[in-house]
Structure 1
């Protein structure tokens, strides 16, 4: 029986562990924190519960496939709630209530501007065709350029427009800025601006509109919690509070891990730690060529996030998901990509207590506020500007919702890009990992079967297919081709 080590109990590592332990491997998952989940972990702030990171659950079929591979039914382990209203998008001159019902979305757009409903239908039909062709490609390994000549890739080519951005692709359907931004803000899931993200990623909003968004009772962290329980129930081993110090390599072949200055032998090693962090800290530079420190530093990385986790003594009458757009959204995005902090910023607001009372005690709520900001490479002094950014975010919430939110804050936690880097081992605090530009996708992204060292594999947002929960889960399924 092969003995497999997994570094990191994030969504990718736990998915891989759950599948591999079901196949009969001896699986050991090593996690530096006192709980599972990585950036998908549960966080308690004075009794108020939060998801540390991801809050959007889409493309549910991939997560269902992970559980099926482990011989399990997803719904036997998690209580899933489909959201009728996907999210509320608050622009300067209009508010869009996006719905899982496409007819309602059509009417909403048409009411705002005649012809926008038809533009929405045309956009929807184009994405339907694109996803049908793209999905099989993203579910397979893409280790080298020869894969561009596969039949499935060639069939998709006419629909991808590789040199076109998400923004430009959407502008073919309408020039209305609110329309474009309402179907392109999802590029920020990749840590990119819509005018930079490749047009392939117009499938992201389509997935939300076509298949819907889900909430998991107790938070998305419960996915990781349940995966960990399944791994242990099937005989796998979970080692919390156990940071890995080094991947041991001889003749470019991994043979184990160094933990607490002791050698532990393994047949295979799966890295779920942040990719760039792992290359910088867990692998000897003597064993690397393509991903040495100086080469990693030249790669493109996503933006970061400035986070507020607020425990309130009230429940705001707002949607489960809301986005407050800056007045000049295009200028804001350009500033973000140029490592600038702009006063006219946008916020994502997660109000799960509207849907799920388990987050806080009766009459109270947990409010999650995310401000996209440049990563640590920007040299912005986030620590000294922490209070300033907090007050600016609260001011925008007050202006938007007509409330003095500071009068209702019972508990508060702030996470800056520096915190992501220092406390969560996120390279540069770039929470969405390596950027998803064409030079860092498909065969140009670090491969699931790591190309530099034998017996090493990658899962998570830094490998193929990319960042975001569905693709992270898929990265674990891709390992089936190798293990």
Structure 2
């Protein structure tokens, strides 16, 4: 059985490992010169940057794929107990941690309501996660009938689908900064906490109950290891090879064309933002279920404005994960919704050299990210002016990064769209800002071609590295359910 995978992000690599291990003849094609999609390494001037993701949760998901590939001892994941410094404009700080007593000690001084409710809060976000894991995370969706499952309906009713994340967090906490810190979890799926369903508060469980991790040598080692695992199982991986067309006949996808060469396939998996990839590879008239009109109806997730700044020193006030919040988070998301860059953005700084000095030779490697609107309806921004605004905000907060920059690279939504094939520069495919869209993402199986599948952040179960890996696993297992393989 021949499988062609379009795109070598984490979802495609995950599917390649599982399918190749089962005996399938797998060919994976990636247009960039690295595997891992947005998990892209940037190594310049003696600095290493993980373009994304900087925060790793659910390490067992990655380890499971590596075990299948025969590389179970390939990677180590190091836990950061006190993992994220949240800093506010009034000088207050609040550190997120998987140490319950440490959290309660902070809450006792900052938020008495939060202190009293914290144990109940942890139980509730754990409940949300386990329900999601049971009913949503390990299944594929092939059509509307899949949503009519009685067990799925039961699970859906229990995960607070009609409540917003912000409203949910306010049940347990009163301090505006702490609520802001928790609302930021919505950005992990590129969405707005004031409309995103409270279901996704389960992300807090992953960080506060289970923990945040990093990989020594850079999180991009995950993608490199998964690529080796796929090759060890016999998959053929082609990088720097752009797929130009998916070939179809009647209701079947028959193969792909890449760099002018044709490759036949019994199954095709598209790992990429299907809102952008599908229109590029299949003519509109052949895919009525995913027509251009249908695809344009999806609200894209937010994009990002990124500065990678290598410093000539280390700043003691800076933490591995450090967030400087805006004064008005709701106003910030209102600006993004209108297509505008926030006048006062919340700024994330990831400095992995704080935990792994080998990544920057005793200097700081600052990955600075602010939320940006998706392309298309947004006002243009002067990148140089906006960069200076970010640096000024950081300096005023006691983080004078701009005074020590020896290497710098800026990446905006346009480059994200072009480099990663991201629809309108969005980081996570469709947003979760619409309740229906939050749960009913594009299906994992094409309704127009029975042997065409989709994995990655734009389909089920959603955005974020562990979810993307699971989507590849789910699709591979769905395909393998149709195959009788004998040694």
So what's the TM-score if we normalise by structure 1?
0.94
Who is 1:112 aligned against?
A: 110
Q: Match of 2:85, SS? A: strand
Cα displacement (A) at 1:15: 0.8
CA distance in 2, matches of 1:70, 1:230: 4
Inter-CA distance 16–464: structure 2 relative to 1 (3 Å threshold): same
Cα displacement (A) at 1:142: 3.5
CA contact 2:57–2:206 (8 Å) conserved in 1: yes
Who is 1:78 aligned against?
A: 75
- Correspondence 1:342 to 2:315: no
Inter-CA distance 339–312: structure 2 relative to 1 (3 Å threshold): same
CA distance in 2, matches of 1:134, 1:85: 26
Q: Match of 1:245, SS? A: strand
CA distance in 1, matches of 2:20, 2:146: 30
- Correspondence 1:454 to 2:433: no
Q: Match of 1:201, SS? A: helix
What is the CA deviation profile of residues 321-363 of structure 1, one whole-angstrom value per residue up to 9, with x for unaligned ones? Answer: 01110011221122222222222211110010010123222x3
Residue correspondence of structure 1 range 171-250 to structure 2 within 5 A: 171-250=170-249
CA contact 1:184–1:205 (8 Å) conserved in 2: no
CA distance in 2, matches of 1:441, 1:381: 28
Residue correspondence of structure 1 range 13-412 to structure 2 within 5 A: 13-73=12-72, 76-93=73-90, 94-137=92-135, 138-148=137-147, 150=149, 152-317=151-316, 318-361=318-361, 363-382=362-381, 385-403=382-400, 405-412=401-408
Inter-CA distance 237–110: structure 2 relative to 1 (3 Å threshold): same
CA contact 1:88–1:322 (8 Å) conserved in 2: yes
CA distance in 2, matches of 1:162, 1:438: 7
Please list every run of 5 or more consecutive structure 2 residues that lacks an aligned counterpart in the other structure: 481-487
Q: Match of 2:226, SS? A: helix
CA contact 1:59–1:208 (8 Å) conserved in 2: no
Who is 2:484 aligned against?
A: none
Inter-CA distance 96–451: structure 2 relative to 1 (3 Å threshold): same
CA distance in 2, matches of 1:451, 1:357: 49
What is the CA deviation profile of residues 143-191 of structure 1, one whole-angstrom value per residue up to 9, with x for unaligned ones? Answer: 4454455454344345322221111112222343223222221100111
Equivalent of 1:432, from 425, 428, 435?
428
CA contact 1:310–1:368 (8 Å) conserved in 2: yes
Who is 1:420 aligned against?
A: 416
Cα displacement (A) at 1:72: 4.2
Q: Match of 1:180, SS? A: helix
CA distance in 2, matches of 1:408, 1:157: 50
Who is 2:464 aligned against?
A: 468
Q: Match of 1:376, SS? A: coil
What is the CA deviation profile of residues 354-403 of structure 1, one whole-angstrom value per residue up to 9, with x for unaligned ones? Answer: 10123222x32311000101111233224xx1101110111112122343
CA distance in 2, matches of 1:330, 1:345: 11
CA contact 2:254–2:266 (8 Å) conserved in 1: yes
CA contact 2:312–2:363 (8 Å) conserved in 1: yes
What is the CA deviation profile of residues 283-329 of structure 1, one whole-angstrom value per residue up to 9, with x for unaligned ones? Answer: 11121113222222221111110000011111222211011100112
Say which is worse superposed, 38-47 or 342-351, in terms of deviation: 38-47
CA distance in 2, matches of 1:291, 1:144: 12
CA contact 2:11–2:473 (8 Å) conserved in 1: no
Inter-CA distance 233–142: structure 2 relative to 1 (3 Å threshold): closer
Say which is worse superposed, 24-33 or 447-456, in terms of deviation: 447-456
CA contact 1:287–1:453 (8 Å) conserved in 2: no
Cα displacement (A) at 1:461: 0.2
CA distance in 1, matches of 2:178, 2:370: 22
CA distance in 2, matches of 1:177, 1:144: 41
CA contact 1:441–1:464 (8 Å) conserved in 2: no
CA contact 1:45–1:412 (8 Å) conserved in 2: no
So what's the TM-score if we normalise by structure 2?
0.93
CA distance in 1, matches of 2:133, 2:342: 36
CA distance in 1, matches of 2:262, 2:153: 47
CA distance in 1, matches of 2:57, 2:30: 26
CA distance in 1, matches of 2:157, 2:230: 42
Please list every run of 5 or more consecutive structure 1 residues that lacks an aligned counterpart in the other structure: none
CA contact 2:14–2:472 (8 Å) conserved in 1: yes
Aligned residues: CA RMSD: 1.7
CA contact 1:186–1:204 (8 Å) conserved in 2: yes
Number of residue equivalences:
475
Cα displacement (A) at 1:414: 0.5
